[in-house]
Structure 1
Amino acid sequence: MKPRQIVYLYSMICLLAIASCKKNDLLNQLPPTSLAEASYWHTTNDLQNYMNNLYGVDGIFPHYLGYNNLGIYSVDDNSDNMVPQTVNARLNGQLTVAGNGGYADWTNIRNVNYFLANYKKVTASASSVAPYLGEAYFFRAILYFQAVQNRGAMPWINKPLDLTDTALINAPRLSRDIVVDSIVNDLNKAIAYLPTKSSAQTQRLYKEYAEGYKARVCLYEGTWEKYHAGDVFGVAGQNGANFLQMAADAANLVITSGIYQLDNVGVPNGYFNLFNQTDYSSSKEIMFWGAYNQQANITTDWQNYYQFGSSGTNSDGISKSLVDDYLCNDGNPISISRNYQGDDSLAHVLKNRDPRLRQIVFFYGDTVISNMPGANPIKRFTYPALVSGTPCTTGYQIRKGLSTDFFQDVHNGPGGTTGTIYMRYAEILLTYAEARAELGLINQNDVDITINKLRDRVKMPHLNIGNIIPDPKWAFPQLSPVINEVRRERRVELACEGYRLNDICRWAAAPVLIVGKQPLGAMAKQFLTVIPSLVVGKNIYVNPQGYIQPYTNVSSMANGYNFNVNRDYLLPITLQETTVNPKIKQNPGW
């Protein structure tokens, strides 16, 4: 029996449809369409089979099947890290209130609630049931957290609804801190019930990952409450300190577990090689990941790094803003380092910089494909794809996530099996450092066991919090030097992995990072001689300083992004939601 085969008495998302149906027809349908209740909920195999579907392609974890050209490594195109071909509607304040749809995945929330309402029917020992119970609580926490990140406070539905549950169907939105308290409570239950990593089944949820996810949730809410205090998105009477402490504590449990360590420390291209593996089962760093299988026709089907010249396609370029945040190899920012070589060429931009920059940006001569059948066995990058049908927008062409194996490339037909990373230990280290910094408790030991571990991997100088040289281009000069450097480290370590928009929102940082900003790319003149068809003002546009400015001819971007700080930190609630339940109040500004 599959959760998606259940005939739902749709909560929230489908209440309008329910209102138009015959009540008796709905109530006479059993939740499992192909199995009577009497034939299910007997053994732990039933529990496992039920939960298996929440892991699958139609389940809760994103699989990025057919997702853009770069899969997970283009998710940051909704932020200041990347520049997509088309202006991001949210960053530019162009979203509108949709007529229908939900603001939570109510279908899968009901799937989980249905499990929690029925698992006790199984006759089995508590210890054999516990792993699946832990999975259910973990999955419900993920679903609610995703909804909170997107649309803020919401009702807390903890049972499978039917038409008699009028109190829940018409429930108002709770305060967001109460919702997140409930999410944390679910994660605490998951931590209690799930097995440890050493005893868990392969690629099933386990305790330490749940602790890491709790750290992620609590850091998000703690900083949201701190930096939105006093604005329309804040939580009255809350400053986030409680959640920040829980974030630090949960991250510390993962760190002190002794289970994890960073991969490829001191290895040439070690950072680059984190992101192109088909199997992460032996990794000490990758805490949870999604596997793919060509035989089962479940493939990534998105890797499209098939670019070795202007005939390639790669619309999402890395922004100058992100490139500029990488330190020089002396540990100083480009604004003050004597090692900085300037911007007039890719060679100069990448020289003497944090090696992570060189490992995420294509440079001349980089191998793109190493084993293409029936052709020269090596294809090398020659110059950015700037004049193709969907050109690289900035000249900084992303290399992160590339596998040079032709059989991992979308062009080979079946699609690749490069694993999708859902959490790595590096995030936990950064979470601990940030939570401690936000609490005003960070010390040099905290930095040494977190940020300096990350820098050791790529042989960068350590951060000494007692001797931070002020950067005149810090994005947040009103904050402490250590918070600025922790945020910088988070940005460069997790670049293009899908974290940046959530970071901007929880820091209430759009006025500094987004509003009125024109995203830029590399210096254009370096490409004009190697790409003769490239003509400034015709197929490439530049700002007065000569940097590529992709949105020059976009009228709505004449003055930069139009992000509305009184509205756009949250997405709108649909008209269907607010019409069906008048107690669901619209988000601010919509």
Structure 2
Amino acid sequence: MKNYINPLIILSVILLVVSCSDDFLERPPESEIIPEEYLYEESQLASYTVNLYGILPTHGNWSFGTFGIDADTDNMADMDYDNKYVPGQWRVPQTDGSWSFGNIYNINYFLNTVLPRWENGEITGSEEGIEHYIGEAYFFRAYEYFNKVQALGDFPIVTETLVDEKEVLTEASKRNPRSEVVRFILSDLDSAATMMMGTSPDGNKNRLSRYAALLVKSRVALYEATWLKNFKGTAFVPNGSGWPGAEKEYNQGWQYEAGSIDAEIEWLLDQAMIAAEEVAGAYSLTPNNGVLQQSVSDGENPYVNMFSAEDMSEYNEVILWRDYDQGLGIVHNVPVYAMLGNYGVGLTKGLVDSFLMENGLPIYANGSGYEGDDYISEVRENRDDRLWLFLKEPGQVNVLYNEEAGTHVTPVEPIPDITNPSWDQGYSTGYAIRKGLNYDGAQANNGQGYTGSMVFRATEAYLNYIEASYLKNGNIDGTAASYWRAIRERAGVDTDFQKTIAATNMQIESEGDWGAYSAGQLIDPTLYNIRRERRNELFAEGLRWMDLKRWRSLDQLINNNYHIEGFKLWAPMQEWYDDGILVYDSGSATVSSPTRSEYLRPYEQTGDELVYDGYSWTMAHYLDPIAIQHFLITSENNNLESSPIYQNPGWPLTANEGAQPINN
């Protein structure tokens, strides 16, 4: 079939190539490039594709960067709630939305231009370098398409830069079923893995490599396998009951390439395992020596430092990271926020409670040794190192070097400022983390931080393999067991994961972990502990929302509201605060009332909050709505039903309306 690019968002290739700012590798922009003479040299290919690195998550200047992406999940909460948890408040937009093709157009321009020239031997430079940068383009097209699949599901596959003719574009706007799109993504990632070098060509892990493609391949394949498994039979998978794509003639007779949805799931799990195992075999885990450095005489801990280093290339498991440079003005503010309340993004009680004790037992199990949560110090005691190391507590040292160098230094962790509504200064839940904190005060000049930003690390591949192999085989095979033990050993937790599984009470776990559910039902303890390991290892790294969606872990909120909670305010810790600061039960309340919970509830203070009675859910919110603009562009006489595009399940063809309930 032909492919579609919306004429309203087609970008000028001339503008693109003339403005190639090289943020990721810190090179000055190309200038005065004549398009007819461009993309004939290896260096020009490198300059063009480095422009695409902005597609990847990195630290922004006035935010908590990648560490804040997990906000608005059961892991982390910021200073305001998200309307997706208030059915009826997330509405169909008139314009814009996730249905866009700008990045895809730019990548296709590169591939459509470069591939024929390369095949004809018209590009100068090393063959290895030329192939690598072509591989980067394949990678970014795959990555952008994966973003579309997560947001929208079915989506048109675009491989050409089309002419701006409505008839052609309308015909080409047909949505490919999501499984077809995922096959396309995996094919592009295979091309990327084949063409890219085994190590980053810059020698510093600031550019992609074969292993980045393989890691993302394992991520994509696992995502789609679990989506198909958990949404099987519903409107959210091709040929499921109520699938809106079935209403379009062009989808009649469509079948999964593997022959059935079950066969497709098996194939995807195989792909995830193969790719993940290759990555895990190439990258060892960065060691954790258990040291929380609090003085210059303490030994450094590479596992802690890895997340806030100026140079991340030296760490074993790092596959790709972004480099910053204060001298070039490529900076961010993450170190400043890491010394306070994380730009108002706090850990939830649910996440904190999920971490095991160092003896491998859940906190509620007999003999666990849990000290309780009256104080943050007790919460951390004898816990998984990932909590003990990364959960801050008042009085800990934030700066060890150059304290005088930074204008916004917070040398000692303060009492959590839970009544301050400022994102800069406030603590949303009372729990703040150390990921992103650099002990050098020179990093704490406002907006002038230059610590690195992690993009991909190999531990995810270990976790992807464990989950995929269990779903496929129904047991923990030898490879998965070795990966699981390695992760737990690095975390300072008893490596006997079967001991943990045997002690797991799913009803208790479900109280604070949405991942305890799939399709509204509690999962088995082994699968749950695989998900727990992933949650505890990757928290604050931007993957939680992706996981919750593919696991279908929000159905239970439809009938049972969930209350986001933080630390145990109404206990001894309330004595940290001066009289009159903790105001509740009024329109000017600064904290939630003790009659609602002993634990701080950041969105339940005044009673005016739309989530005052907790988070809720509706099935349609698993996918984004498509803006009405796109139906109008491709319709006849403004008859939206005539458009070859179809709306996502539960979303109406009317702007500014919320989703309708779906019986799935």
Any residues of structure 2 matched to 1:219-258 within 5 Å, and which?
Answer: 219-236=222-239, 237-239=260-262, 240-256=265-281
Note if 1:486 corresponds to 2:530: yes
- How far apart are residue 129 of structure 1 and its match? 2.2
Provide the rounded CA distance (Å) in 1 between the counterparts of 2:41 and 2:601: 61
2:86 to 82, 92, 99: 92
Q: Would you say the 8 A contact 1:92–1:563 is kept in 2?
A: yes
Q: Deviations over 1:176-197 (max 9, x none)?
A: 0000000000001111111111
Q: Deviations over 1:254-284 (max 9, x none)?
A: 123xx31111233424443221111111111
Q: Would you say the 8 A contact 2:419–2:582 is kept in 1?
A: no
Further displaced range: 109-118 or 365-374: 365-374
Any residues of structure 2 matched to 1:68-107 within 5 Å, and which?
Answer: 68=63, 70-93=64-87, 94-107=89-102
Classify the secondary structure of the residue corresponding to 1:394: coil
Q: Would you say the 8 A contact 1:317–1:392 is kept in 2?
A: yes
Note if 1:273 corresponds to 2:305: yes
| Corresponding pairs, count | 561
Q: Which amino acid aligns with 1:364?
A: P
- How far apart are residue 535 of structure 1 and its match? 2.0
Further displaced range: 532-541 or 136-145: 532-541
Q: Which amino acid aligns with 2:184?
A: S
Any residues of structure 2 matched to 1:90-239 within 5 Å, and which?
Answer: 90-93=84-87, 94-119=89-114, 120-121=116-117, 122-124=122-124, 126-164=127-165, 166-170=167-171, 171-197=173-199, 201-202=203-204, 203-236=206-239, 237-239=260-262
Cα distance change of structure 1 residues 199 and 38 upon mapping to structure 2, 3 Å threshold: closer
- How far apart are residue 241 of structure 1 and its match? 2.2
- How far apart are residue 521 of structure 1 and its match? 1.1
Provide the rounded CA distance (Å) in 1 between the counterparts of 2:492 and 2:15: 60
- How far apart are residue 545 of structure 1 and its match? 4.0
Partner in structure 2 of residue 64 of structure 1:
59
Note if 1:261 corresponds to 2:280: no
Partner in structure 1 of residue 613 of structure 2:
559
- How far apart are residue 384 of structure 1 and its match? 1.0
Q: Would you say the 8 A contact 1:447–1:463 is kept in 2?
A: no
Unaligned runs of 5+ in 2: 19-31, 240-259, 293-300, 511-515, 635-642, 652-664
Cα distance change of structure 1 residues 30 and 224 upon mapping to structure 2, 3 Å threshold: closer
Further displaced range: 157-166 or 247-256: 157-166
- How far apart are residue 64 of structure 1 and its match? 2.9
Any residues of structure 2 matched to 1:453-532 within 5 Å, and which?
Answer: 453-465=486-498, 468-472=501-505, 473-475=508-510, 476=516, 478-512=522-556, 516-524=561-569, 525-532=571-578
- How far apart are residue 387 of structure 1 and its match? 2.3
Q: Would you say the 8 A contact 1:90–1:568 is kept in 2?
A: yes
Superposition CA RMSD, Å: 2.8
Cα distance change of structure 1 residues 579 and 64 upon mapping to structure 2, 3 Å threshold: farther
- How far apart are residue 458 of structure 1 and its match? 2.6
Q: Deviations over 1:75-107 (max 9, x none)?
A: 111211011111112233321111111525511
Q: Deviations over 1:456-493 (max 9, x none)?
A: 11321013448731422233374332211100000010
Unaligned runs of 5+ in 1: 1-9, 19-25
Provide the rounded CA distance (Å) in 2 between the counterparts of 1:414 and 1:31: 27
Further displaced range: 262-271 or 326-335: 262-271
Cα distance change of structure 1 residues 63 and 306 upon mapping to structure 2, 3 Å threshold: closer
- How far apart are residue 383 of structure 1 and its match? 1.4
- How far apart are residue 528 of structure 1 and its match? 2.1
Cα distance change of structure 1 residues 263 and 127 upon mapping to structure 2, 3 Å threshold: closer
Any residues of structure 2 matched to 1:289-328 within 5 Å, and which?
Answer: 289-305=321-337, 314-328=343-357
- How far apart are residue 295 of structure 1 and its match? 1.4
Cα distance change of structure 1 residues 413 and 401 upon mapping to structure 2, 3 Å threshold: closer
- How far apart are residue 199 of structure 1 and its match? 6.1
- How far apart are residue 443 of structure 1 and its match? 2.5
Provide the rounded CA distance (Å) in 1 between the counterparts of 2:97 and 2:406: 49
Q: Would you say the 8 A contact 1:63–1:300 is kept in 2?
A: no
